[in-house]
Amino acid sequence: MAFLTNFYAFLFYFAAFVILAGLTRKIVQYARTPAPLKIPTTPAPTTRSGVVFRMMREVVLFESLFRGNKWTWIFGWMFHFGLLLVTLRHLRYFMEPVWFPIQLVQPFGIYGGLAMIVGLAGLWARRFLVDRVKYITSTSDHLILGLLVLIGCTGLLMKFVFHVDVVEVKSFFLGLYSFEIEPLPADPLLMLHLFLVALLMIIFPYSKLLHAPGLFFSPTRNQVDNPREQRHIAPWARKLEQ
Amino acid sequence: MAKATFEVPELTQYTEVPPVTPNAMAHSAPFKSKEDFQIPLGFPGELVDDWQAKAIDKMGELLGNYRSLRVYLDSCVKCGSCTDKCHYYLGTKDPKNMPVARQDLMRKVYRRYFTLAGRFFPKLVGAEDFTKEVLDDWYSYFHQCSQCRRCSVFCPYGIDTAEISMAAREIMDSIGVGQKYCNEIIGKVYKIGNNLGLPGPALIDTLEGLEEDVYDDTGVKVRYPIDEVGAEILLVTPSADFFAEPHVDGLIGYGKVFHEAGVSWTLSSHASEAANFGMFIGSYANMHRIAQRIREAAIQLKVKRIVFGECGHAWRVAYSFLNTLAGPWDFLDPRYPVPQHICEFTYDLIQEGKLTFDKTENDDKVLTYHDSCNVARASRMGNTPGGQFEIPRAIIRATCNHFHDMDEDTIRDRTFCCGGGGGLLTDDLMELRVKGAKPRLDALNNVIQEKGVTHMAAICAICKSQFTKVLPYYGMEMDQIVSLHQLVSNAIVLTPGPDDEEDDDEPDDDLDSEEEETDEAA
């Protein structure tokens, strides 16, 4: 048992390091790479605050996807919003005392878990049923969907069927903050659930999951439409001017 | 009219999404550029030794120079939102013309050489070596993208396939694989000053001819000046405006508007081209060099303002990039934006009540308006977002009695490309151009049937040339495409100058409209 607990402790330190370091590296890389030309997809906002509003609509409502494909939007939005609720619900394992808003969100987190699975199932079905989407799907796309579905299902099973000692789980994670390794319940479902979550964290900065930070750096969405008013020039392009 | 050697699609009431038909357009590729056209642009004359390594180096360089490329290659989740948005996919059925699949041609190489997952698990993530086959696919399919950005409108991350196809063309040029059409034309701009290779004397001759024609038609002396130092406005317009139909009718219209505005203006033989094909080939250096000619002309002619004629991608480069490429414009009149679009100029005059129109002059037409992709999705007119849609329509409404928009899903920022943009307006891509025009023409045909539309107005030289060529394939007439300022030109009531014979005005006008009707009947 001690071995398993130690293994999972190490796994989560490693996964946390990879996702933090990997994402930081990517975000720094995106931020440092210049966008030499003004390329917002127009009509675009003409002010900074307008751009913030546009980005919020993209991040919260998936506005462009809504315009593009209603089915993908419904399933995609269900999945992401469900995932958000589930993540908020899970925060209780990582804090003591639990913040009041996180207490409030607890019941909604369960619905979130269900919405997540339904959304994922819909997205996955499209990869088989729509010939165009099937054509562009690669093995990794199936694997990431499988990973997320398994994470969701193992989580829901623990909630509704095979209960786990969540108090011990919580003390395990709280212990990790101070490098005190508390025993983890030796439940196969929990082991699988946690292993897959760690795997998800590890692949995050090396896969298409980079769409999360990527969106914020997309020049077609985050640029202000003011090229005539303000001269925009990248450092490497300035060299051409001598 | 040349007979098609391929199957022309049948127009449908609404554009249907076709089933995936692999390799349907694999045979399509434009003529390759020769050494003579490559060298002046700073590219190797033919495929270099060690091209694979050099291409990967170039890709690395571009990844460091363009945030768009870096972010877009990483971010795609293959959601499929773009898959039914490209006019080339809708017209050709070839799945590699789905924007995501087109991007994947580059993404698979990016993954192989620049990502951990692609280096260790290429099969899993669809990463591939940059082989000769992949290069051939690049050449074929990155020349089946008109960089119209329709896909980017619907992408949840705003991924713009134009950015990727521009980068791909830049990489190919850097290893000696260029496209003849674009590169030859850019060479002409460097050598002569415009895409069509019209030298200064030919331009002067043409413009004198226009002055005579307009005088004969209207009895009013409207000037079409070139290289006049000290004029207030420099007009930069696509060189097709100097003689191609219906482009030239637009140029006649600009001159009449300037005449009524009472401002002095001039063209420039040095900057006798608004188009900037440097954008199509993704070459910042060439785009910069072409744009500099406009700055040089503005300084040399001591103008106060710069106005651009009707051209889609030129307006993108002008509106979005000119300040970057050739600014700052601190030596021009700060009361006006630099540059201005001729539509903004005309619209402002209409708002101020300075133009008088006789709308009945356009009563022989029922119009619709084609939003050119680069104007619609990559620029703006006026002070508010969306002005690029409203201003041209306002001008049509001010000059014509009969106007109907096409289906909402095919106009404004969802407009379909004409099928000839992005450096594809060449006869060696005729099949692609005809098939790519289908979605636009479906919508046009719909308003022809339902609303009795007879003509489509556009504000892009490429759109005008493309439709002129492609409409007959679908059983329509080539002159059903008109310049926006042609409508202005028809309807504008000119104020005679002191040496104009006023009496001649009326009968000439009548003669003019009769002539037009016979033209159409023929």
Query: B272 and B170 in one domain?
Result: no
pLDDT for residue B516: 39
Strand partners, B357: B492
Q: Is A107 on the interface with B (CB under 8 A)?
A: no
Q: What DSSP character marks residue A223?
A: -
Q: Is B302 on the interface with A (CB under 8 A)?
A: no
Q: What percentage of residues in chain B have a pLDDT greater than 70?
A: 95
pLDDT for residue B406: 98
pLDDT for residue B5: 85
Query: B211 and B162 in one domain?
Result: no
The Cα of B53 is separated from the nearest Cα of chain A by a number of Å equal to 22
CA–CA separation, B98 and B398 (whole Å): 39
Q: What is the pLDDT of residues B210-266, one digit of tens each?
A: 999 999 999 999 999 999 999 999 999 999 999 899 999 999 999 999 999 999 999
Query: B213 and B172 in one domain?
Result: no
A76 contacts B320? CB cut-off 8 A? no
Domains in chain A, CATH or no CATH each: 2-225 (1.20.950.20)
The Cα of B188 is separated from the nearest Cα of chain A by a number of Å equal to 22
The whole domain housing B126 covers: 35-181
Query: B351 and B278 in one domain?
Result: yes
B65 contacts A234? CB cut-off 8 A? yes
Query: B196 and B156 in one domain?
Result: no
Would B18 be classed as within a structural domain? no
Q: Is the peptide bond before A45 cis (omega within 30 degrees of 0)?
A: no
Q: Which residues of A touch B328 (CB under 8 A)?
A: 231
Q: Which of B98, B126, B386 sits opposite A43 (nearest CB)?
A: B386
B101 contacts A234? CB cut-off 8 A? no
Helix, strand or coil, per DSSP, at residue B482: strand
**Which of B181, B215, B247 is at the close of a domain?**
B181
Nearest-by-CA chain B residue for A124: B79
Nearest-by-CA chain B residue for A50: B385
pLDDT for residue B498: 80
Question: Residue A4, Cα to own-chain centre: how many angstroms?
Answer: 27
Q: What percentage of residues in chain B have a pLDDT greater than 90?
A: 93
Query: B204 and B162 in one domain?
Result: no
Query: B157 and B85 in one domain?
Result: yes
Strand partners, B482: B457
Q: Which residues of B touch A131 (CB under 8 A)?
A: 19-20
Q: Is B163 on the interface with A (CB under 8 A)?
A: yes
Query: Which structure tokens are listed for B160?
Result: 């713009």
Would B236 be classed as within a structural domain? yes
Query: Which residue, among B354, B13, B304, B54, has the nearest Cα to B177 in the 3D structure?
Result: B54
What confidence tier does B497 reach under pLDDT thresholds 50, 70, 90? confident
Q: Which of A136, A217, A228 sits opposite B83 (nearest CB)?
A: A136
B179 neighbors B32 (Cβ within 8 angstroms) = yes
Query: B224 and B172 in one domain?
Result: no
- Beta-carbon contacts of A172 under 8 Å, excluding residues fewer than 6 positions away, are A5, A8, A9, A181, A182, A183, A184
CA–CA separation, B496 and B359 (whole Å): 19
The runs of H, that is alpha helices, within B5-75 are: 35-38, 51-65, 67-75
pLDDT at residue B310 is higher than 60: yes
Q: Is B398 on the interface with A (CB under 8 A)?
A: no
**Which of B181, B204, B237 is at the close of a domain?**
B181
**Which of B122, B155, B181 is at the close of a domain?**
B181
Q: Is B66 on the interface with A (CB under 8 A)?
A: yes
pLDDT for residue A33: 98
Query: B223 and B177 in one domain?
Result: no
Q: Which of B71, B123, B319 sits opposite A30 (nearest CB)?
A: B71
CA–CA separation, B424 and B421 (whole Å): 6
Would B276 be classed as within a structural domain? yes
Look at the alpha carbons of B245, B247, B251, B253 in this order and tell me if their dihedral is positive or negative.
positive
Nearest-by-CA chain B residue for A222: B158
Would B85 be classed as within a structural domain? yes
Q: Is A54 on the interface with B (CB under 8 A)?
A: no
CA–CA separation, B343 and B303 (whole Å): 19
Query: B215 and B175 in one domain?
Result: no
Number of Cβ within 10 Å of residue A66's Cβ equals: 19
Q: Which residues of A touch B379 (CB under 8 A)?
A: 42
Query: Which structure tokens are listed for A69?
Result: 């494909």
Nearest-by-CA chain B residue for A40: B378
Q: Is B127 on the interface with A (CB under 8 A)?
A: no
Q: Which of A33, A132, A139 sits opposite B95 (nearest CB)?
A: A132
Query: B369 and B331 in one domain?
Result: yes
pLDDT for residue A1: 61
B324 contacts A139? CB cut-off 8 A? no
A132 contacts B321? CB cut-off 8 A? no
Query: Which residue, among B153, B172, B164, has the nearest Cα to B55 in the 3D structure?
Result: B172
Q: Which of B80, B319, B377 sits opposite A136 (nearest CB)?
A: B80
Query: Which structure tokens are listed for B499?
Result: 């040496």
| Average pLDDT of span B171-200 | 96
The Cα of A137 is separated from the nearest Cα of chain B by a number of Å equal to 7
Q: How many residues make up chain A in this entry? A: 242
Would B445 be classed as within a structural domain? no
| Interface ipTM | 0.96
Would B27 be classed as within a structural domain? no
Q: What is the pLDDT of residues B389-431, one digit of tens each?
A: 999 999 999 999 999 999 999 999 999 999 999 999 999 999 9
Q: Which of B66, B81, B323 sits opposite A231 (nearest CB)?
A: B323
Q: Is A126 on the interface with B (CB under 8 A)?
A: yes
Low-confidence ranges of chain A (pLDDT < 70): 1, 242
Query: Which residue, among B114, B110, B108, B139, has the nearest Cα to B126 in the 3D structure?
Result: B108
B123 contacts A217? CB cut-off 8 A? no
Q: Which of A51, A220, A221, A239 to mutate to test the interface with B (most CBs of B within 10 A)?
A: A220
The Cα of A14 is separated from the nearest Cα of chain B by a number of Å equal to 17
Q: Which residues of B touch A135 (CB under 8 A)?
A: 20, 22, 95, 98, 101
Q: What is the pLDDT of residues B107-125, one digit of tens each?
A: 999 999 999 999 999 999 9
The Cα of B76 is separated from the nearest Cα of chain A by a number of Å equal to 6
A211 contacts B157? CB cut-off 8 A? yes
Number of domains in chain B: 2
Would B198 be classed as within a structural domain? yes
pLDDT for residue A50: 98
Strand partners, B367: B403, B455
Query: Which structure tokens are listed for B387?
Result: 């002005």
The beta strand positions in B208-318, using DSSP E, are 233-236, 265-266, 305-308
CA–CA separation, A171 and A93 (whole Å): 8
A76 contacts B79? CB cut-off 8 A? yes
Query: B196 and B240 in one domain?
Result: yes
pLDDT for residue B499: 73
What confidence tier does B521 reach under pLDDT thresholds 50, 70, 90? very low
For residues B171-209, one letter each, b for 16 or more C-beta atoms within 10 angstroms of the residue's C-beta and e for the rest, the string is bbbbbbbbbbbbbbbbbbbeebbbbbebeeebbbebbee
The arrangement of strands across the sheet holding B265-266 comes to: B265-266, B233-236, B305-308, B340-341
Would B136 be classed as within a structural domain? yes
* Cβ-defined contacts of B229-232 (< 8 Å, 24+): B229/B300, B229/B301, B229/B302, B230/B264, B230/B301, B230/B302, B231/B264, B231/B265, B231/B266, B231/B301, B231/B303, B232/B263, B232/B264, B232/B265, B232/B303, B232/B304, B232/B305
Roughly how many angstroms between the first and final C-alpha of chain A, as a whole number? Answer: 68
CA–CA separation, A63 and B63 (whole Å): 28
Q: Is B70 on the interface with A (CB under 8 A)?
A: yes
Q: Is B319 on the interface with A (CB under 8 A)?
A: yes
pLDDT for residue B504: 47
Q: Count contacts between A and B (CB, < 8 Å).
A: 216
CA–CA separation, B92 and B114 (whole Å): 32
What confidence tier does B515 reach under pLDDT thresholds 50, 70, 90? very low
A39 contacts B160? CB cut-off 8 A? yes
